[in-house]
Amino acid sequence: MRMNLDGQLALVAGVADDQGFGWSIAKALHAAGAKVILACWPPAMGILTKSLDRGKLDMTLPGLSEERTEFKIEKIYALDAVYDSMDFVPEDIRTSKRYQDVGDFTIQGLKKRIKEDFGDGALTIAVHSLANGPEVQKPLLETSREGYLAANSASSYSFVSMVREFSPIMRKNGSFLCLSYLASEKVIPGYGGGMSSAKAALESDTRVLAYEAGQEYGHRVNSISAGALASRAARSIGEINKMIDFGAKRAPLKSALAPKEVGSAAAFLCSDLASGITGINLYVDKGMHAMGLCPEGGL
């Protein structure tokens, strides 16, 4: 059985470089045959496009047939998923140099541009690889209300908004996917600022959205709980290296988690091979989620 996404259009939101899970998911979707479009945070758009133009990004697709050996991106859009529409964008953001000249960077703006560029019903897959917590290095007890709500807005409500806005323009029986982390259900010191709460909300919302979007549109909604990865974005978490080391010592599988492993799992969940799967949280973390007391001690 071959994973076949030929003729499908996939959006991966939250890609700014070639180091994170979002990039690997996008490559895996393209490897399976999908046309891929990316959505990038406006302040990072320049870096991403320049790196792409200068050939500094890993575009290889190893192990594929000769006709599809390099990652091809159909289009890159600006997206700040904190904002549903331009009506909610503060004036200082509208006039910021980092946001000028990128057009409508809201979720509704992205929906409109995808519809204009590819047509109504062209989109079949939407991946939410977005997370941000301005106070992520603070313990929860020291997190401000503003920081807590900001983390949940950017990291979890944005997925609700994406499913709401993109479902009507998506081909029936489409697929939505988001990325979570073990901190949603276990205590991970150093993953603070309300981010653990945001991931817990994201997983709960996945189940509810699976029901609602499934009933109304026939779409599937799933999440992947990926292991820790020292991506550029994750380096803002001061304890990220400790999280990786902890997993390496205690996970059932000792090999380091590779982004492509998350990418392959994501492509599977978005394909017809998983047509009967919705509302799940799939662990791709070398088995770390299954562990309690380990031989070395600790949780």
Which entry of 156, 184, 196, 225 is annotated as an active-site residue? Answer: 156
Distances (CA, A) of 119 to 104, 116, 250: 18, 6, 48
Of 53, 35, 34, 55, residue with least CA distance to 45: 53
Of 261, 232, 234, 189, residue with least CA distance to 24: 261
* 101 Ramachandran zone, left/alpha/beta (phi>0; psi -120 to 50): left
What is the side-by-side strand order in the sheet with 73-78? Answer: 73-78, 35-40, 9-13, 123-128, 170-180, 220-226, 281-284
- Tokens read off for 112: 């409109």
CA distance 298 to 288: 13
Known catalytic membership, residue 156: yes
CA distance 18 to 87: 32
CA distance 109 to 162: 11
Of 83, 130, 132, residue with least CA distance to 104: 83
Which entry of 27, 35, 199, 286 is annotated as an active-site residue? Answer: 199
Q: Which residues are catalytic?
A: 156, 199
